[in-house]
Amino acid sequence: MGAAQEGETLGVTQNHHSARLRSVRSFLGPGGKLVKFGKDPSDAFILVCQDGVGWEDIYYLTGFVGTSGVVLITEDEATLFVDPRYSRSARERSCCNVVCCEDVKRLSPLHAALDHLFLKKPSRVSYGGKRMRLSAYQYIEKALMDSGRPVELLDLSNLISNMRRRKNKAEVELISEAAAIASKAFIETLPSAKVGMSEREFAGRLDCLIKAGGGDFMDQVPIMVSSGERTSLPHALPTDKKFERGDLVMVDFSVRRAGYVCDITRMFSLGEPSDEAKSFYAVLQWAQSEAADLLKHRTSASAVDAAARLVIDEAGVGDLFLHGIGHGIGLCVHEAPSLNASSKAILSEGDVVTLEPGFYKPGWGGMRLEDDYLVGRDKPSKLSEALGSDLFAV
């Protein structure tokens, strides 16, 4: 579970959340946008957060942050159901009606929400959220089957996912703040790196400075630190391995600020990097630059990937580039759109994406350079500009 700490003023206001709820409600009912788009009408839309899974969509629509909660939306109203732990904070922070399950004598928010839903005698109910526990889905499915009337369950997960893609000014500012916190923490941690320090210790020092600098305490994305040959592992959690003279070190880290994340990867060398390392890193810088030139409205995501891949292919390490060039970020560190060779996505103004060219050679090691960009009408803005893109040496 993440987002701003309790009581912190959010850059995203209740007006933003209210507008998002109105947008969802406009899809529902017999005269809603679903019907206008040629789809079957939906009487209600339900989002579930259980054990901290699925908080992002509920926060996006209501402003509420918690490990448990259910939002039930119809064309006429939106209601947030919570348990007693969150009754006060939900009423203070949410932009919709709030019902505590204890007040209606139900054991859980989901139980209370479904009871409320059945009073409306729905024929079709939509569920949303790319992240929903299977147990929650099965509970809803069984409750609808046991309701004594035929109720169709529809998947509308892409609705919120597509809404979350286009970032408003407040969201972009929060991601930029996260990147600024990340940059400052990394620059302040770097001088402490030395031969004999463990990957784990470096990650811990970086994490402390992130938190002290204003990063959210909840739902921290793990900091990945690898050194030496371990950098050939694209996603490697830190271990007790000690830094050695001449090691390349890869640091992939995120900072969450009032719910929104940045995602950055930087490399540094223990001692002066070799000419080979400098040459390979220059390839990554060039590949990222070529891809960034295409980050504009109506460009295909696959074309951005192809631009970077061509540079890396020509350097002779294309077969070692093991992932797509990037992905969207926002409330999640990986969200729409995906930027890879098979992606069908078309970039839109307001998308915030990573560009992370890399290569991974077992026995030698790997390198990656990752930055965050706002897609513009004609050109992008680099949100992680403050950290520069050099290969650091300590």
Residue 8 has what pLDDT? Answer: 44
Residue 200 has what pLDDT? Answer: 98
Q: Are residues 159 and 189 in the same domain?
A: no
Identify the domain boundary among 164, 179, 209.
164
Identify the domain boundary among 121, 137, 164.
164
Task: Give the residue-averaged pLDDT of 168-173.
Answer: 96
Pinpoint the alpha helices (H) of the chain.
14-25, 33-36, 55-62, 87-93, 109-118, 134-145, 157-165, 169-189, 199-212, 275-292, 301-314
Q: Are residues 26 and 90 in the same domain?
A: yes
Q: Are residues 100 and 236 in the same domain?
A: no
Residue 31 CB contacts under 8 Å (≥ 6 apart), including other chains: none
Task: Give the residue-averaged pLDDT of 177-198.
Answer: 97
Number of folded domains in the chain? 2
- 1, pLDDT greater than 80: no
Nearest to 215 by CA among 253, 189, 167: 253
Q: Are residues 370 and 248 in the same domain?
A: yes
Our CA dihedral for 353, 183, 377, 60, rounded to 10 degrees, sits at 60
Residue 219 has what pLDDT? Answer: 63
pLDDT in tens, 239-270: 999 999 999 999 999 999 999 999 999 999 99
Q: Which of 141-155, 196-210, 220-234, 330-344 is predicted with the least confidence, judged by mean pLDDT?
A: 141-155
- 2, pLDDT greater than 80: no
Domain assignment present for residue 234? The answer is: yes
Nearest to 350 by CA among 208, 99, 164: 164
Nearest to 76 by CA among 28, 111, 33: 28
Domain residues for the domain of 352 are 166-393
CA distance 157 to 130: 6
Please, are residues 384 and 179 in contact by the beta-carbon 8 Å criterion?
yes
Please, are residues 160 and 82 in contact by the beta-carbon 8 Å criterion?
no
Burial tier of 146 (Cβ tally within 10 Å: 0-12, 13-18, 19+): exposed
Residue 78 CB contacts under 8 Å (≥ 6 apart), including other chains: 21, 24, 25, 61, 62, 71, 72, 96, 97
Identify the domain boundary among 100, 130, 164.
164
Q: Are residues 231 and 140 in the same domain?
A: no
* pLDDT bracket for residue 220 (50, 70, 90): low
Domain assignment present for residue 4? The answer is: no
- 66, pLDDT greater than 80: yes
Domain assignment present for residue 6? The answer is: no
CA distance 115 to 110: 9
Tokens representing residue 221 in the block: 């994305």
- 13, pLDDT greater than 60: yes
Percent over 70 (pLDDT), the chain: 97
Residue 340 has what pLDDT? Answer: 97
pLDDT in tens, 284-329: 999 999 999 999 999 999 999 999 999 999 999 999 999 999 999 9
- 5, pLDDT greater than 60: no
Residue 9 has what pLDDT? Answer: 42
